[in-house]
Amino acid sequence: MDFQQLETAFSGELFYNNSSLHQAQKMVYATDASVYQEQPLAIAIPRNKEDIEKLIRFANQNRVSLIPRAAGTSLAGQVVGNGIVVDTSKYFKKVIEINAAERWVRLQPGIIRDDLNALLKPYGLLFAPETSTASRAMIGGMIGNNSCGLHSIVWGDTREHLLEVRALLSNGEEVVFKQNSREDIGAKAAEDTLEGRIYRDLFALLDNDKNRQLIGDHYPKRTLKRRNTGYALDILAYEMEAGNGGANLCHLLAGSEGTLAFVIEARLNLLPLPPARDALVCIHCSSLAEALHANNVVLKHAPMASELVDRYIMDFTKGHPVYQQNRFFIEGEPEALLMAEFMEHDEDTLNTKATALINDLKRNGLGYAYPVIKGPQTKLVWDIRKAGLGLIRNMPGDVQPVNLIEDCAVSPEDLPAYIEDLQHLLKGYGLSASYYAHAGAGELHVEPMINLKTGAGKQIFRDVLKDTVALVKKYNGSLSGEHGDGRLRGEFIASAMGEGVYHLLQQVKKIFDPGNIFNAGKIVNTPKMNEQLRYDPQKAKRQIETVFDYERQENVLRLAEKCSGSGDCRKSHITGGTMCPSYMATLQEKDTTRARANILRQFLTNSTKENPFDHPEIKEVMDLCLSCKACKSECPSGVDIAKLKAEFLQQYYDANGVPFRSKLIAGFTKSQRLGIRFPALYNAIAGNPFTSGIIKRLAGFAPARSLPAVGKTTVRRWFEDYQRTVPQQFAKNVFLLCDEFTNYNDVEIGKTTIKLLNALGYGVEILQHKESGRTWLSKGLVRQAQKIIIENVTLFSRFVTADQPLIGIEPSALLTYRDEALDLVPSGLRNAAQQLAGNSFLVEEFLADEYEKGNITSSRFTRKKQTVKLHGHCYQKSFGIVPSVQKVLGIPQNYYVETIPSGCCGMAGSFGYEKEHYAVSMKIGELVLLPAVRSVAADTIIAASGTSCRHQIKDGAKRHSLHPVEVLWQALG
């Protein structure tokens, strides 16, 4: 295959050769959110329609398959295969036309569903289908899988809202599929084109009495809303029987998983925004069966949604850095929660509906608690439900929940009996399972716990699905409700719907795609469903020596394996969040948290090297990780890539040596200690374009990035003189972590912090501790960081207590002792490290707590009106500290504090200095933060706790920002 010739004519990006970058790209596209893994032949990221046409010609000439891919959140292996993966998520993101009067939108397939609705909100409209992955799921994938989501009992599925599709057929022909009358169909069928043949042959197939009988007898019952098994021949047949006998081939493409045509545009029906007032009745049940019976009572009250969460999921929210706070409404220990949602325009009607439901449930003896959640708090409740797939991946051990029978759907009235039968079936295999999701639509996501790393588990994986098919047939349900068949369920479609129907599906595939170039091996003619899994039972386990302790995650491989592939890391800056900043800037799969976990998992599992980290492909994928720690909290599974990246770099350096620039940055404290001996000279050199330019060239720093200046003296040296002038008696004393950034660069902030604490009644002491170790960790020199941390923990643990805590100014430095330190100290020092972590706080946390206790009052501060715009540091976001910063900045009575909805600033320590990363650094900053800063009035205070954040704001927006302690000091009366 001449990929080089294709590349010459290709305007997008193509990855096909054996270089480390190309190999890395193929590895990260080898899997999706399913259990399947198969390395593709190549990756194509087309820039326009012409690129896709070239790919279709190439596929026909070389008899290879094109695998359309959007966000890659498929659960049935739809985008996994050995062909050419065609990723439309980067460039096909245009909204072409919005017709508010007729309520439709025309767009390209790479638009994220939630981003689309953010754009439509000012028009009072929305695209209704709402998957739990709506923050990253794209319209192309939603069409391919016929996605439904939380509110499908009212809003329906994607198929119902798909008006028109512009697509390329398997011979490259461009077509528009839309509603056609019988006469239109006849005219098209007469054309001597592939489109003409499709209309001719497809409708001849559907006009056959025998075929219509097969369809009527073997497809799921018509009252079942969730029906996504095979191709939607039943929908087309129903359309032909009704009205003028016309049909819309869009309805066949919906749910076809990219196997029939390549969608390049779609026109979608829109709905008015729902009523602004909503209420969630959270029905606490003592058993799953009770919840399912309660569901049928709920449905009589016409809710917007009825969703279930079981105890497995709820238990994994306990202690979770994000989802613990979402548990505020849970009473006791329910075995299942049923969430019934109502939306109304007025409060009285909303209350009436909620009360009526609760009274009905009580009459039927269903549930033991019924808290009603309203307003913004409903999002916290829904987030638990939406995070279910990721949360249950926190289960320890190799026995893990698997997507297998999670998509089978029956009528809601049949759901209690079906689940009872299913539980009996699973019990026969000795399996437990998690049950959650769309009770109101008759589709629970049932995920059995199976060890796919064993031959026995691999066989059980297949046997359970085979036996479940019989249950689905018993209740005339659908093998797939919304997740699709892919390569998971395709093998059993014939069993579920009969050989006759399966033969019809094969004919449909051949009619549209005679050369089998579109996503071969999905829906029909699939390989065995338990082949090409992520895990090979024959692969021997190996012990991997690491610097970090991974006991809390079992081992380093298990931490990487926790990634479910659900793609939470592919959110955009439009819908918010911090994870993953580099992906938000580049829109490349290799720059996602998921890709980093995937490539580590593959090499740590399969590498034959003594050092399994010693692979340049891993380096390619880790390169743009900013170590922002957002994944530690925002990823439901808590896949801590910052920790894994530091481990990887140390191991990679062990094999390949440490680069000069990494040593330079890691040794930042040494250079600043030298510079501050002659501060005027140092600052003159760093500030002069000529001399700083030489330094930047030698160090590999970006020419446009300014170098940090040093203070006139160190904080420590100043403090020695200052403390002699301060009264020695305070009601409470604290230890200050005099980190390397504050001590040498942000000296004035350090001085202000000490003076503020003293003025508010707190004594300050500084121990003779070492630097924090953060610079060494950031460059992957973990062993040196470990030595520093052990010394500091040993020292601090002798002095720091709950009554005299350790207070930090720079988030990245202080939080080292609440994070990495716990996994770097020896076992004998672990208890001391844990106690230190519990007594270490950022200055904003400490002041917020003291304010809550009444020890600090607003009366001490100015009453002048002031607007403050706050940018939260990534680590503060990861540890849930931003609310404390907001609270502290709001202590002055008339200070209006607004948090900028930014993710990472893009600087991330040394990342923004490095010349090859500078452009990405600035692009991240330009997503939200820098435009927001530029837009505010000159008298608005910009607050940012992080030294890197303030530097980025200075370089990128030419604005001076203050640390929150500086804001308070200025406001102190």
pLDDT in tens, 109-129: 999 999 999 999 999 999 999
The two beta strands, 732-737 and 806-808, are parallel
Whole-angstrom distance, CA of residue 548 vs CA of residue 562: 17
Structure tokens, 791: 């010394």
pLDDT on residue 41: 98
pTM above 0.75, yes or no: yes
Determine the Cα–Cα distance for residues 43 and 138; give it in Å rounded to an integer.
19
Q: How does pLDDT run across 265-302, given as a tens digit for each residue?
A: 999 999 999 999 999 999 999 999 999 999 999 999 99
Which residue in the block uniquely carries the two structure tokens 């390395």? 39
Report the run of H or E that residue 494 belongs to, with start and end. helix 493-497
Beta pairing class for 174-180 and 277-285: unpaired
Q: Residue 875 in contact with residue 781, Cβ under 8 Å?
A: no
d(CA 593, CA 23): 18
Has residue 819 got a pLDDT over 90? yes
Structure tokens at 149: 């989501």
pLDDT tens-digit map of 441-472: 999 999 999 999 999 999 999 999 999 999 99
Give the type of residue at 137.
A
* Per-residue pLDDT tens over the stretch 918-963: 999 999 999 999 999 999 999 999 999 999 999 999 999 999 999 9
* Token representation of residue 340: 């019934």
C-alpha 49/C-alpha 168 separation (Å) is 9
Q: Using the predicted structure, report yes or no on whether residue 662 has a pLDDT greater than 70.
A: yes
Nearest CA among 400, 393, 391, 389 for reference residue 535 = 400
- Whole-angstrom Cα distance, residue 642 to residue 622? 10
Q: Using one digit for the tens of pLDDT, what is the confidence trace for 875-911?
A: 999 999 999 999 999 999 999 999 999 999 999 999 9
Q: In whole angstroms, what is the distance from residue 787 CA to residue 618 CA?
A: 26
State the chain's mean pLDDT as an integer. 96
How is the beta sheet containing 262-269 ordered, strand by strand? 95-99, 104-107, 262-269, 162-168, 174-180, 247-248
User: Looking at residues 605-628, what average pLDDT do you find?
Assistant: 97
d(CA 275, CA 343): 6
What values do phi and psi take at 756, rounded to 5?
-65, -45
Which residues make beta-bridge pairs with 167?
A: 175, 263
Over residues 383-398, the mean pLDDT reads 85
Cα(387)–Cα(404) distance, integer angstroms? 18
Look at residue 244 in the predicted model and tell me its pLDDT: 64
The greatest distance separating any two alpha carbons of the chain, rounded to the nearest whole angstrom, comes to 99
pLDDT digits (tens, 9 = 90+) for 468-493: 999 999 999 999 999 999 999 999 99
What amino acid occupies position 175?
A: V
Looking at residue 611, what is its pLDDT?
97
Q: Which residue has the higher pLDDT, 541 or 597?
A: 597
Q: What are phi and psi of 342, to 5 degrees?
A: -125, 145
Would the pLDDT of 727 be above 80? no
How far, in Å, CA of 780 to CA of 5, rounded? 40
Integer CA distances (angstroms), 104 to 99, 107, 161, 574, in order: 5, 10, 9, 21
Token representation of residue 435: 């049950």
Spatial CA neighbour of 736 closest among 713, 718, 712, 710:
718
Give Rg (Cα) of the chain: 30
Is 63 exposed, middle or buried, given 0-12, 13-18 or 19+ CB atoms closer than 10 A?
exposed
pLDDT at residue 243 greater than cutoff 70: no
Of the pLDDT bands very low, low, confident and very high (cuts 50, 70, 90), residue 327 is very high
Q: Are 129 and 237 in contact (CB under 8 A)?
A: no
CB atoms within 10 A of CB 468: 24
d(CA 15, CA 13): 7
Within 207-248, residue ranges assigned H as helices are 209-218, 233-241
How far CA 21 is from CA of 89, 598, 608, 647, in Å, comes to 19, 15, 20, 21
> What pLDDT score does 201 carry?
96
Q: What are phi and psi of 121, to 5 degrees?
A: -55, -45
Extract the tokens encoding 7.
């590349």
Question: Residue 240 has what pLDDT?
Answer: 84
What per-residue confidence (pLDDT) applies to 393?
82
Angle at 128 between CA 122 and CA 266, to 5 degrees: 90
Task: Provide the pairing of β-strand 866-871 with 941-944.
Answer: parallel
CB 291 within 8 A of CB 337: yes
Cα gap 102→106, rounded to integer Å = 12
Q: What is the DSSP secondary structure assignment for residue 962, as one 8-state letter? A: B
In this predicted structure, what is the pLDDT of residue 391? Answer: 85
Q: Looking at residues 673-690, what average pLDDT do you find?
A: 96
Residue 368 CB-density burial (10 A; 0-12 exposed, 13-18 middle, 19+ buried): middle
